[in-house]
Chains A and B, each alone.
Chain A
Amino acid sequence: MATMNNIPHLQRRSAMTEISTNWLRCTRCGSRQLKQQVQLADGRYYCPDCLLLGRICADDYLVDLAEPNDFPRKVQPLTWTGKLTEAQKTAATMIQQHFIQRQDHLLWAVTGAGKTEMLFPGIAWALKQGLRVGIASPRVDVCLELMPRLQVAFADTPIMLLHGRQNEPYQYTQLVLCTTHQLLRFYHAFDVLIIDEVDAFPYAQNPQLAFATQQAVKIDGARLFLTATPSRLLLQQVRQGNLALSYLPRRYHGYPLPQPKVRLCFKWQQQLRQRRLPNLLQHLLTTKISQQQRFLLFVPRIELLSVIAPILWEQFPDLKFAVVHAADSQRLVKVQQMRQKYLDCLVTTTILERGVTFPGIDVIVLGADDAVFSAAALVQMAGRVGRSAAQPTGAVDFICAGLSRGVKCACQQIKQVNRKAGFK
């Protein structure tokens, strides 16, 4: 501590502050903690909500270095040679405009609109200005997929990739790609902060991450929120004028989002428990397998994976598939195998719904009416289909025991988006 006091531009903040006699607020993650629940045996208080970044106690200090923006100037940082469609170009210009004006901005783009490429001109502009740029995504898989694309697009710019499972030492870089949790490590660091999939778990209903994005960006910085399914809260921000909105309803290849087919199947759960596939599902799978159509099968709960896997093995011995869930240590490997077409099918829980692309697949959602599937999640799952220009169409089936609000809402949103894009 004594030596740190001598470094110029160093700011020191208490790690936790008292907000009342019983409550503390964590300075790093912004969470509120009831004192009696977070007291250690030696009397100190700690924050359990950001523990994974290393435990901090109320008597610790957070130390920040004011961002010096000490980067070599580049004339042409963008090394990407691809072309944007007219619609993408318009959105890209909007994005850059808001960066220049240092304004927060929401881009509502349907899944498969080619979001990443639209960001390139804006990022290139910021890098040219010597600004620091952060890109945050909720999932490690998405970051891992994004990293090589960014490295190609900005070949001369060093990029630091930060996520919870990597051990590389931290390096100070102008362009940072990280999981949203890692944003808690930054304080007023970015001039431009791009936050992908704002409505995805784990942002949705997570005040910690809303706090993180606010802390990580400079006070006069610009935030860009990307979403395919804006929440009511975000649209409210737009209506109140706190957030500018751009809208991109068309997928980059010009085809509409596939409209899900809702198929009612009342007793699918009981039938699974009796170790049988519901007829409807059996039929769907047989057709897909005979047509060599690769697909994702979403199920609402982890427990169902171990029920359905043995049935599939028995019924379809030639089907190459894997089951995967959030806590699966092999998750990244299995996703990679699916992407490289070693697998015909992934049976999975809601977890890889976003950001991950498999060309030419169909989607089946079993139990689409389950409470764990929000409308946003369902739209995202449907959006996995027809992402590539070579295979712009595909089938989406929602199998449910009844019509939930989520299912109705998702079907409606897709219809609405397609109508806005000029499809009827």
Chain B
Amino acid sequence: MNCLLCQQSFSQALTLADLLYWRPLLTERICSHCQRKLQPITIACPECGRAQNKCEYCRDCQRWLRTQPDQELHNHALFVYNAVLQDFFKRYKSLGDYRLRQAFNADCQRWFRQHPADVYIPIPTDTDSYTRRGFNPVVGLYAPCVPLTNCLKKRPQPIKQAHKKRQARLRTPQLFYFTGDAAQLSGKRILLLDDIYTTGRTMRHAQACLKMAVPNCQVNTFTLAR
């Protein structure tokens, strides 16, 4: 098999645990050399999932919670958004290499097994980027790992997010609307899924939108990179 990040061929080393315990084997799609360049996040800010030395609110989150104490998030991110992941997302999202969606399946699946939720909801893309790419990058990443419930839709956006300053991005009106069955989600543990956590705006909007539609659900969020 060829590594999805560096294209070199490699073979997966089985661990003793893989052999001893009967469970579906996770197929690695990244070679050990690339694997070593990833920075898994272990100790993090409980709000945004940023890698830190101590498990306490990071400065950005402290500032945010002082002004908006009711908009608390619980985000977990798997990896630091370093050069390897930037390159990955450039090829996956900008160049549109859909094969790369499988690169982190094993890592995500391991995490989902240890932190199960009742319902998994992906952040939607707008129609324009879907037409251009031919796929939703978030759905691509997580669909092979967990059953997804598509119940959020994106409102048409006048300006592209990437071109806006951080301030402008945080201030914009609600990005999403709810299209699902509220009764079905009531009382459930929900995990919101996105690819990259940057400012947290997307996640806060999505969470607020969900809480509005389903007041008594419990929401956590998850991203591949932070």
Contact = CB atoms under 8 A, between A and B. Distances in A.
A46 B135 contact: no
Contact of A41 (B33, B97, B134): B134
Given A48-B97, A303-B33, A42 B134 contact: yes
A52 interface: yes
Contacts of B139: 41
A312 interface: no
Contacts of B23: none
Interface of B is mostly: helix
Interface string A218-242: 0000000000000000000000000
A38 B98 CA distance: 7
B96 A46 contact: yes
A230 B152 CA distance: 60
Given A41-B98, A52-B95, A46 B134 contact: yes
Contacts of A42: 130-131, 134-135
Size band of the A side of the interface? Answer: 10 to 19
A51 B97 contact: yes
A44 B140 CA distance: 15
B135 A41 contact: yes
B98 A40 contact: yes
B99 A44 contact: no
Contact of A48 (B33, B99, B133): B99
A48 B96 CA distance: 9
A41 B91 CA distance: 17
Interface in A84-132: none
B92 to A, nearest CB: 11
A171 interface: no
B91 A46 contact: no
B95 A51 contact: yes
Nearest to A43: B134
Nearest to B139: A41
A41 B99 contact: no
B140 A41 contact: yes
Interface in B54-113: 91, 95-99
Contacts of B95: 51-52, 55
Contact of A46 (B33, B98, B136, B140): B98
Given A51-B91, A303-B33, A38 B134 contact: no
A57 B130 CA distance: 14
Interface residues of B, number: 15
Interface in A302-323: 303
Contacts of A40: 96, 98, 133-135
B33 A44 contact: no
A46 B97 CA distance: 8
A37 B140 CA distance: 13
Interface in B127-171: 130-131, 133-136, 139-140
Nearest to A41: B135
Contact of A51 (B33, B96, B130, B135): B96
Nearest to B135: A41
B51 to A, nearest CB: 23
Contacts of A303: 33
Contacts of A57: 134
Contact of B136 (A38, A41, A51, A52): A41
A212 to B, nearest CB: 18
A52 B95 CA distance: 7
A359 B204 CA distance: 61
Interface in B154-207: none
A148 B75 CA distance: 53
Contacts of B99: 37-38, 48
Nearest to B134: A40
Considering residues A38, A41, A57, which has the most beta carbons from chain B within 10 angstroms of its beta carbon? A41
Interface in A42-66: 42, 44, 46, 48, 51-52, 55, 57
Contacts of B98: 38-41, 46
A177 B178 CA distance: 55
A209 to B, nearest CB: 16
Interface in A356-377: none
8 contacts: A38-B98, A40-B134, A41-B134, A42-B135, A46-B98, A51-B97, A55-B95, A55-B96
Interface of A: 37-42, 44, 46, 48, 51-52, 55, 57, 303
Interchain residue pairs A-B with the least CB separation, the first 7? A40-B134, A41-B135, A42-B134, A55-B96, A51-B95, A40-B135, A40-B98
Given A42-B135, A46-B134, A51-B95, 19 more contacts: A38-B98, A39-B98, A40-B96, A40-B98, A40-B133, A40-B134, A41-B134, A41-B136, A41-B139, A41-B140, A42-B130, A42-B131, A42-B134, A48-B99, A51-B97, A52-B95, A55-B95, A55-B96, A55-B97
